Amino acid sequence: MAATNYSDAVRNGVQAAGRLQRDLKLRDQIQAEPSAVDIFAIIAQLDLPLLVRPLKGLLGAYVDVPSPGILVTTERPLSIQRFTAAHELGHRLMGHRPSLDDEEQILRRGSLEELRIRDRRDGYQEAEADAFASAMLMPKWLIQLHCGRQAWRIDDLVRPEIVYQLSLRLGASYEATVRTLERYGMISGANRIALLAVPRRKLKVTLLGDFRPETYKGNVWVLTERDDGGRLDGGSNDHIVVELQEKGSAGFLWDVRPLSDAGFTAISDIRSGVEGDAVGGPYLRRILIAATETSTENVTLRQIRPWQPEAAIDAFSVRLDFSGPEAGGLSRAERRLRLGAA
């Protein structure tokens, strides 16, 4: 049913996203391998052409001549590219007119009054596409899944460092994650204001410790044993802090060579005592690595005695792809799909 007001538009967008998730059995897929929603893979699966290219003044576009297709800019971080792609897919699935979308449309810039005027003028199709993208990439069940895996409680969602790590696992921007948490009633309006007031650079500086990168444009991930079995998609400017308990007093050490084998660069490797543990207890091993422009499959670390490498007492496995953002041409997901079909 065509939207005649903002509430109708939000409902239409959320329902369209829910239908697509059910049709694709997306929840089952992500529960089997916890990750963000791979919107580029979904678009490729739907056989909808998508091109990534420099777009002057635009974040993306939905076109229908000579045939339906999506354009996404190369000039934004992966999180914005993902949201833009989902927004344009919403236009396609909801039968909208072609749309050339700049920051005002995609990021909903402007005052509430300005947004409502624009929504009425375009027949609420931008509001529908925005609601579709939010519900497609950040459904409540996905937020709950990641919070459950990380043992984050509802009270933890007022902590900026937690919301930042949640946003990375959702593949969304920090701001979009904060606003979505408020929309779901998981934080208050006052919490939203406080969270958005925190400089993202400050969060990155704290996580990086003494290390100072050339730029803070990339993200900083913290991986623990709770990320085991998941898939993480980041950018080539990102840094990763791997924190694992190590039973060094018993001679067991994490073999971290697979990280360098996968193309990641080690920056620091520090061991410290685990708080509250007795003498001889496990250490916390904190390895800081830098991503490079590389795409990889599973990386598996094993905790072994160096003189008995075949007898591991623990393993940590995660699928990493830190080759983002999407470069020009076809998306990586579509290229993989075409290579697999060849």
User: From CA 332, how far away is CA 321, in angstroms rounded?
Assistant: 11
Closest CA to 115 of 197, 13, 17, 9: 9
For the chain, list residues with pLDDT below 50. Answer: 276
C-alpha span between 178 and 193 (Å, rounded): 9
Q: How far apart are the first and last CA of the chain?
A: 41
* Strand 239-246 to 283-290 pairing: antiparallel
Instruction: Identify the CATH class of 217-324.
Output: mainly beta
pLDDT of residue 116: 85
Span(s) in the chain for CATH 2.60.40.2020: 217-324
For CATH 1.10.10, list the domain ranges present in the chain.
6-137
The C-alpha angle 25, 28, 32, rounded to 5 degrees, equals: 140
Q: Using one digit for the tens of pLDDT, what is the confidence trace for 227-256?
A: 999 999 999 999 999 999 999 889 999 999
Q: Are 329 and 51 in contact (CB under 8 A)?
A: yes
Its CATH architecture, for the domain 6-137, is: Orthogonal Bundle (1.10)
Rg of the chain in Å (alpha carbons): 21
Quote the pLDDT of residue 176. 95
pLDDT of 109: 78
Residue 138's identity, in one-letter code, is M
pLDDT at position 61: 98
Contact assessment for residue 180 and residue 142, using Cβ atoms and an 8 Å cutoff: no
